[in-house]
Chain A
Amino acid sequence: MIRVDSLVKKYGGRAVLRSVTFDIPRGQVTALVGPSGGGKSTLLRCMHGLEFFDGGTVKIDHAELTPGTSRKNRTAISAIRATAGLVFQQWHLFAHMTALENVMEAPIQVQGVQPDVALRKARALMDKVGMSHRENALPRRLSGGEQQRVAIARALAMEPKVLFMDEPTSALDPQRVGDLVELLRGLASEGLTLAMVTHDMRFVVDLADRAIVLSGGEIIEDGPPKAMLADPKDARTRAFLGLD
């Protein structure tokens, strides 16, 4: 479903991603973990076309993205975004629209869905993420956890095959993390491919099939989270997990 091959990203000559390569099969729940500044969020932004990269390729479903701003690449970015949704760490709900309008906006404006159809779908999604009672609230009236649920519904409204999430637990208390795990498990069981950047290992162990550890712009370890937690191979993974 997702194939990242030899991805290189530099900021002013300093490489933040040095030849990163991995595959994620359809339906897998993958966590990109590692210390802060390890390149996780940058990797996610590169995969979604929000940032250019300097070498390698990103392939999601049938769309292949390469370095540069060619017309072919712009088409690829559009195709990738049609396949993969993204939930930002700060959610970025459209501030001038209600929760429900946030969910309806892109289907109507981008996909050309009829407003009444989009409304029905949006209501169903708001129900699915447990936000039906706040559908007319403006984002600034919602708590962090509530905004995140609306952001998930907004991404799902575009019917993606893949969902990217950036630090989904950073603004949640433990009780809400539990609710989120439950929600995401349900989505995964419906066949959605999930890839999320996080450094919350408890959340990873509870939810993910696989953890990819990024440190210093490289993948240093890759495997099932439980096994990794029990017996990390790399010294840097041990340090990150706080086992030393």
Chain B
Amino acid sequence: MKRLSLGIALVLLATACGGDSSTGSALARVRASGVLRWGGDVQGGEPYAFEDPSHPGRLVGFEVELADAIARELHVRARFVQNDWSNLVPSLDRGSFDIALNGLEVTPARSGSVTFTRPYYIFTEYLVVRADETRIHSLSDLQGRRVGTLASSLAWDMLRNVGADVVPYEGVEEPFQDLEHGRTDAVVLDDIIATRYGLNRPTLKLAAQVGDGYYSIATRQNDTDLARAIDQALARITRSGELRRILARSHIDSEKQARLATWTDQDTRDLVGTHSASHMSGAHVWLFIEGAGTTLLVSTAAMLLAITLGLGLALTRRYAPRPVALLAQVYVELFRGTPVLLQLYVIYFGLSNLSPHLQLAALPAAILGLGLNYAAYESEIYRAGMDAVPQGQMDAAAALNMSQWLALRRILIPQALRVALPGVTNDFIALLKDSSLVSVITVVELTKRMTITAVDVRSWFLPGLLCAGLYLAMSYPLSRLSSYLEKRLQGEP
């Protein structure tokens, strides 16, 4: 018996060791497979890594050339792996690719979760304002002002440190568009993005250069040998002048890049620093509760709009003259048949392009977008509810000399709503979760708060748990209410 259990222990140990050795050397694995997989997002666009407009499907950009050059140095081939930009680091961690190479700025938060190589590009943070702006000249002027940037970027950290009201964007075009329209007072982004997407607009100008930053290649924290090999390859490419030639072909070379040629390992250590992981704190929890408040506000207001409009649509489809009823039907099909994400984009970004009078702030736009969308679903629930009320009820109301409107208001609608109520509560729960979509139009609600915090504390676990807990705390009472209402409507009042 003792011998048997010893045998099992040995087998387990061997398995454990075997598992360990297979994840041993990342460099050996890359060499053995002959392929260096690098992660990036083609949506980041020109000049990083993007589809050649004249040859769709072919990837070009200075990072494509850089990846090829590094792979050559390692005697392997480079293979691009498409990945959403905001999730490059988590995807690197779970092994979707060997390195992340896509305009990744060295920030304290990222330095704690990956191993950065030496930088391959030195960028400048540009502070961009409207051409007629006279109040803003430096970073310190931004305190308390609405300033747009990409979430979790270096600029994001800088702006939070000076106490700006930071508006997070996911694309590079929208921050400048909103600045033009006066939704924000300034945008801080790196010079590559600012030059291509911001300063090409005559209505905007450069107010100041507010600091330098570095693009580096990220490897997994434990893949030290791969990190070292890539760092050395990059050093050779830099010293030989090839890096500057690559940058020059994409028209982003500058005098500042000369600094890269004399870059030392000590410089890398100074840049990356030693960052102890920050932890979830009371301040984070408070921000989460704020985010939950925004989620609740957006969903409740949107639901009220959806209920009112949905009822109007259902009544119109049943009782209005045919052409008007048809319009209501078109509305329902249109809003049910297109993604709510698209509707939010159109309402927030699209309308403000049409006319400045149609420009909505982010929160009203979020409420309007979700409300208009859910109204289509609500109207179908109410229509089913109205169909469930027997015709005799309306006959009886007519026989008592009630007008049609009075009969609808007092007899049909109250009964239809009772039938519809469980469905409406269900929709409210769905809306509560769908409201996370409004982060694309810069509203920081609960889910967005969670992703921002996850980057800060370099872990998804606690923020994810807290986020899930808060959603449940909001939706569970609703589902209890729903089943209570269902029971109550079947029984006595």
B400 CB-CB contact with A under 8 Å = yes
B225 CB-CB contact with A under 8 Å = no
Which residues in chain A, 137-168, are within 8 Å of chain B measured between CB atoms? 138, 141, 154-155, 158
A81 CB-CB contact with B under 8 Å = yes
Q: Are A88 and B393 in contact (CB under 8 A)?
A: no
Contacting residues, chain B, for A105 (C-beta < 8 A): 400, 410
Q: Are B396 and A93 in contact (CB under 8 A)?
A: yes
> In the complex where A109-B410, A138-B493 touch, is A50 in contact with B400 (Cβ < 8 A)?
no
Contact stretch, chosen from B149-157, B159-167, B411-419: B411-419
Contacting residues, chain A, for B393 (C-beta < 8 A): 92, 94-95
Q: Are A92 and B493 in contact (CB under 8 A)?
A: no
Which residues in chain B, 398-440, are within 8 Å of chain A measured between CB atoms? 398-402, 406, 410-411, 414-415, 418
Interface residue tally for chain A (C-beta within 8 Å): 25
A188 CB-CB contact with B under 8 Å = no
Q: Which of B390, B402, B415 is in CB contact (< 8 Å) with A96? A: B415
Contacting residues, chain A, for B397 (C-beta < 8 A): 94
Q: How many angstroms from the CA of A220 to the CA of B493 in the assembled complex? A: 50
Contacting residues, chain A, for B414 (C-beta < 8 A): 96
How many chain B residues sit at the interface, stated as a range, is 20 to 34
Q: How many angstroms from the CA of A141 to the CA of B397 in the assembled complex? A: 21
- Total contacts A-B at CB 8 Å: 55
Contacting residues, chain A, for B410 (C-beta < 8 A): 105, 109
A18 CB-CB contact with B under 8 Å = no
Q: Are A90 and B401 in contact (CB under 8 A)?
A: no
A106 CB-CB contact with B under 8 Å = yes
Q: Which of A48, A90, A96, A109 is in CB contact (< 8 Å) with B399? A: A48
Q: Are B401 and A88 in contact (CB under 8 A)?
A: no
A110 CB-CB contact with B under 8 Å = yes
Interface flags, A120-136, vs B, CB<8A=1, else 0: 00000000000000000
B395 CB-CB contact with A under 8 Å = yes
Q: Are B418 and A106 in contact (CB under 8 A)?
A: no
B392 CB-CB contact with A under 8 Å = yes
Q: Which of A48, A109, A141, A155 is in CB contact (< 8 Å) with B406? A: A109
Q: How many angstroms from the CA of A221 to the CA of B435 in the assembled complex? A: 72
Question: Which of A50, A85, A106 has the most chain B CB within a 10 Å cutoff?
Answer: A106
Q: Are A82 and B401 in contact (CB under 8 A)?
A: yes
Q: Which of B389, B395, B406 is in CB contact (< 8 Å) with A110? A: B406
Q: How many angstroms from the CA of A109 to the CA of B395 in the assembled complex? A: 16
Contacting residues, chain A, for B398 (C-beta < 8 A): 49-50, 81
Q: Which residue of A lies closest to B392 (CB)?
A: A92
B255 CB-CB contact with A under 8 Å = no
Shortest CB–CB separation between residue B422 and chain A, in angstroms? 16
Q: Which residue of B lies closest to A107 (CB)?
A: B400
Q: Are A109 and B396 in contact (CB under 8 A)?
A: no
B20 CB-CB contact with A under 8 Å = no
Contacting residues, chain B, for A106 (C-beta < 8 A): 400-402
Question: Which of A78, A82, A92, A105 has the most chain B CB within a 10 Å cutoff?
Answer: A92
What are 30 of the A-B contact pairs (CB < 8 Å)?
A49-B398, A50-B398, A50-B399, A78-B401, A81-B398, A81-B399, A81-B401, A85-B400, A86-B399, A88-B392, A88-B395, A90-B392, A92-B395, A92-B396, A93-B396, A94-B393, A94-B396, A94-B411, A95-B393, A96-B414, A96-B415, A106-B402, A109-B402, A110-B400, A110-B402, A110-B406, A138-B492, A141-B492, A155-B400, A158-B400
| New A-B contacts (10) at CB < 8 Å, excluding given A94-B411, A95-B389, A141-B492 | A50-B398, A90-B392, A92-B395, A94-B393, A94-B397, A106-B400, A110-B400, A110-B402, A154-B400, A158-B400
Chain B residues with CB under 8 Å of chain A are 389-390, 392-393, 395-402, 406, 410-411, 414-415, 418, 492-493
The 3 closest A-B pairs by CB, nearest first: A92-B396, A92-B392, A106-B400
Chain A residues with CB under 8 Å of chain B are 48-50, 78, 81-82, 85-86, 88, 90-96, 105-106, 109-110, 138, 141, 154-155, 158
